[in-house]
Structure formats: structure tokens, C-alpha cells
Structure 1
Amino acid sequence: MVSYPALLAVGLPPIAANVTNTVALVAVGVGSTAQSGRVLLDGDRRRLIVGVIAALVGGTVGAALLLVTPAEAFEAIVPFLVAIAAIALLIQPVLRRWATGRVEHPAVFLLGLFLICIYGGYFGAGAGIMILALMLVVTSEPLWRAALSKSLFLGIANAIAAVGFMIFGPVHWWAALAMAIGCLAGGWCGPPVVKRLPAEPLRIVVGLCGLGLAVWLAVG
């Protein structure tokens, strides 16, 4: 929610900001997984493995779409996608009550994660909100574990997309390096902090920030 707008703010054109952001955000997944990978293994390993596969395939498809198709049409719907994810996060308790008596929806989780990782590989701004909202609605994971899983899945989608962008995309390497250092530190320090924060206020703050990002992208 912050890194892509920050790159635009310092003057990078949209496509360069997009691919640079994707390359830099790989460091978040590295830092978060290094800090909390063992904790994730203590949870539902089947969901973890399925999620990793969906992230790999989705990130590959998304990066290929960005490299072979015009970005203008997709960028036009990005604010709406981010807004939908933010709203889903804000009304997550209502959505969970509407679920069909079961909290776990593995098929919906797999399909949703795959589609979000396509989006993340193509245009990553707000993808983390989408994964977080998906996990809180269709799984029984608490917020702190959903946040850790989000970093892992998005990190994998970013990593596979970043390989293609490094070869074919207009990466701004100095900006990517500076941002990667901050992302690595944030990925390492973030999980212990998130685990101790109150879940409801954090969910609301993240959702409101997502709506703000959607408005910013729409008018920017």
C-alpha cells in the first residue's frame, strides 16, 4: 500500500515503479519467512503447500501478462480491485457469518489465492490486502498467522515475477536496492509486532488504508 505510491512520488513512471516495486518486495517475503517460517510449519501444512504452488503459478502468469500486454487497461481497474479487497477486510466478520456454516473453504482459498497472485505478478499494489482479506474470510487462521502467510505467498509470487522483470522489465536498480533494504528489515521485524497487536483495530486500520490507496490510485 505504501511502496508503489512512494516510487511514483519520487518520479518513476508507472511501469518502472511497478516492476521495481515487485523486485524490491521480494525482500519482505525473505525477511518474514526467515523470522517466522518455523511458526508457519506448525500450522496447516497442506494449506501452506497448496498456497505456495498457487502463488508460484499465479505470479508466473501475472508477470507474463505484464510483459506481453498493454498495462493501461488493467491499471484502469486496479483502484476497484484494491477497494473491493479493503471493503472485504473491513466487513470480514459479516462475511464470515454469511459463510455456509463452515469457516474453512479450501477450494475458494486456492482459487482466490491463484487469482490474487496473478494480480500480484501483474500489478502488485494492494495484493497483500487481498490475500489477508481472503484468508480471514475463508480460513480459520487468526490475523497474525494470516499476516505471516500473506507475506510468504506474496513473496513467492513477487519472486517469480521479479525474475522475469529483472530480465525484460525496466527495473530502477538503485530504487529497488534502497527499498529492498527497508523491506527486508520490515519483513524481519514485522511478524513479532503484528502478533502482539490487537486484531480488530489492526484489521480496521489496514482496511481504511486500503480504501485510501484505492482513491489515490483512482485520482492519481
Structure 2
Amino acid sequence: MTGWELAVVCAAGLVAGAINAVVGSGSLITFPTLVALGVDPVTANVSNTVGLVPGSFTAAYGYRVELAGQRERLIRLGAASALGALAGGILLLFLDPAVFEVVVVALIAVACVLVLAQPRLNGWMAALREEPRQNGGVALWLGVLASGVYGGYFGAAQGVLLIGLLGIFLDDGLQRVNAAKNVLALTVNGVAAVLFALVADVDWAAVAGVALGAIAGGFAGARLGRRIPAPVLRAVIVCVGITAIIALVYG
């Protein structure tokens, strides 16, 4: 990877780290960037997951005040995230790469729809919640498990999925839900990254570029991201997602 390509990847990691801290879906920035630079889609996905781990950590650390009192909840849900991530990572490694290239287009499209529909879906589903719950019960645990499988396999918009699930099943404020989302996303990315580092083909130059940007982006997103208008973030994510679909289908 040349110097300018590394700079482009680092910039994409910076944006992705900030978006992940606030909304989720940062992979819709970094993954298509790596593919556009000629990295094989499966290798790009693996390298992206590994590279985003430091940014996930800084984002979670940035929300440490909102994490107060959530330890028991996060231990319980974190187990579901870890199991799901392991299953998703194994699926990625053992399914035919051609299957990934087909599935990932559909996943990006679904992620874009979820990003656009998130506010309406969250409000609608929260209105259906019959009673407040602090831990979400079995339904939330299973939902987080499924989200972990998705995150381990691909990961774009897993933050959106988690915010939606936590917002539906927990009686808590949005900022605390977002803080919990960052910890669970860190768990998914961390478990998948360990698996990929041990047995997968990782582009370590791409990892370094994504990680350097994501570290700064995670801090910036946690501190300043709430000031960025959500519609602007959603518009950027969807545009990048559409670009990724076009690149994968016609590239």
C-alpha cells in the first residue's frame, strides 16, 4: 500500500471511528474505501474489523460517564455479543468467498435502509414496549446474539441494530443506550479480530491505516459527535453505501 493510499485509509478510519461512536455504520466508510483501493472484499472486511477495534475502545472510553451502573447489564449482554461474533467470524471464514460478495451487497443495502429508518423504527418499537426493563430479558439477549453474528460476519450498521434493540427493550436514556452500544460493538469487533488475526488473511497495512484514524475518530466522535446533525451523518453513510454497492456489483 502506497503512502497516499495509507493516508486515504487513515482518513476513512478517522471518519468511521467518529461515526461509530455516535451512530454506528462506520464500516460503510472504511470497507468500500479498502475495496476501491484494490483490496479483496473478504480481506478488506477482515482487515477493517481488526483495524476498527482501537476506535471502538476509544469510543467506549469516551462514554465512560454514561456507562456508570451498567456493569451487570453489559456482562450479560456482552456474553451474547462475544458468542455471536465468534459464530459470525467462523461463517465468514468458511463460506465460499463468492457467497460473501453476494451477501455483502444485500447487507449494505439493508444497513442503508436501517440508517435512514432508525429514528422512526426506534420510536415505533419503543411505543410497543409494554413495561420498562433494566436488562431486557431473553428477547434482548437473543437479539444481541443475532446482532453479534451479523457484526462478526460483516459489521456495517451493527451499531444501528444495537441502538434499536437496546432502545426497544431497555428503559434508559439514549446516551446511556449509546454508551452500551459502544461496549457491545467493541466486544464483537474484539472477538472477531482475535479470530481473524489467528487464522485469516489480514492486510496489516490496511489495519494500521484504519486503526490510526479510528483511534482519533473514536475520541472525537464521543466528545463532539452529538453536535453533528443526525440527518447529515445519515446522508453521508447512505451515499457511501450506495457507492460500495455499485463498486461491488460493477467493479
TM, length-normalised to structure 1? 0.84
**CA separation of 1:170/1:206 partners in 2, compared to 1, >3 Å: closer, same or farther?**
same
Asked if 1:62 corresponds to 2:88, the answer is yes
- 1:183 maps to a residue whose letter is A
Alpha-carbon shift at residue 80 of structure 1 (Å): 4.4
For residues 65-113 of structure 1, what are the alpha-carbon distances to aligned partners after superposition, in whole Å with 9 as ceiling and x for unaligned?
A: 111112245325313431453255131212222x143244433321111
* Aligned match of 1:25: 52
Asked if 1:96 corresponds to 2:122, the answer is no
**2:129·2:169 contact (CA, 8 Å) conserved in 1?**
no
For residues 46-78 of structure 1, what are the alpha-carbon distances to aligned partners after superposition, in whole Å with 9 as ceiling and x for unaligned?
A: 321112111111111111111111224532531
Identity across the alignment (%): 27
* Aligned match of 2:18: none
Which among 192, 195, 208 is matched to residue 161 of structure 1? 192
TM, length-normalised to structure 2? 0.75
* Aligned match of 2:74: 48
- 1:51 maps to a residue whose letter is L
Asked if 1:137 corresponds to 2:168, the answer is yes
**CA separation of 1:84/1:103 partners in 2, compared to 1, >3 Å: closer, same or farther?**
farther
**2:41·2:101 contact (CA, 8 Å) conserved in 1?**
no
**1:21·1:176 contact (CA, 8 Å) conserved in 2?**
yes
Question: CA RMSD for the aligned pairs?
Answer: 2.4
**CA separation of 1:136/1:206 partners in 2, compared to 1, >3 Å: closer, same or farther?**
farther
Q: How many residues align?
A: 214
- 2:83 maps to a residue whose letter is V
- 2:140 maps to a residue whose letter is F
Alpha-carbon shift at residue 197 of structure 1 (Å): 3.3
Which among 2, 5, 10 is matched to residue 37 of structure 2? 10
- 1:146 maps to a residue whose letter is V
- 1:20 maps to a residue whose letter is S
For residues 172-218 of structure 1, what are the alpha-carbon distances to aligned partners after superposition, in whole Å with 9 as ceiling and x for unaligned?
A: 11111111011111222322224x538xx53x445555544554444
Distance between the aligned counterparts of 2:39 and 2:119, measured in 1?
31
Asked if 1:75 corresponds to 2:97, the answer is no
- Structure 2 portions without partners, runs of 5+: 1-27
> 3-state SS of the aligned residue for 1:2?
helix
* Aligned match of 2:227: 197
Distance between the aligned counterparts of 1:189 and 1:9, measured in 2?
26
Distance between the aligned counterparts of 1:39 and 1:100, measured in 2?
23
Distance between the aligned counterparts of 2:239 and 2:165, measured in 1?
19
**1:85·1:133 contact (CA, 8 Å) conserved in 2?**
no
**CA separation of 1:166/1:51 partners in 2, compared to 1, >3 Å: closer, same or farther?**
same
- 1:79 maps to a residue whose letter is I
For residues 106-161 of structure 1, what are the alpha-carbon distances to aligned partners after superposition, in whole Å with 9 as ceiling and x for unaligned?
A: 33321111111111111112222221222223323333222222221111111111
**CA separation of 1:124/1:52 partners in 2, compared to 1, >3 Å: closer, same or farther?**
same
Distance between the aligned counterparts of 1:80 and 1:19, measured in 2?
19
- 1:150 maps to a residue whose letter is K
Distance between the aligned counterparts of 1:147 and 1:205, measured in 2?
18
**1:129·1:210 contact (CA, 8 Å) conserved in 2?**
no
Which among 143, 148, 155 is matched to residue 124 of structure 1? 155
> 3-state SS of the aligned residue for 1:22?
helix
**CA separation of 1:197/1:145 partners in 2, compared to 1, >3 Å: closer, same or farther?**
farther
* Aligned match of 1:174: 205
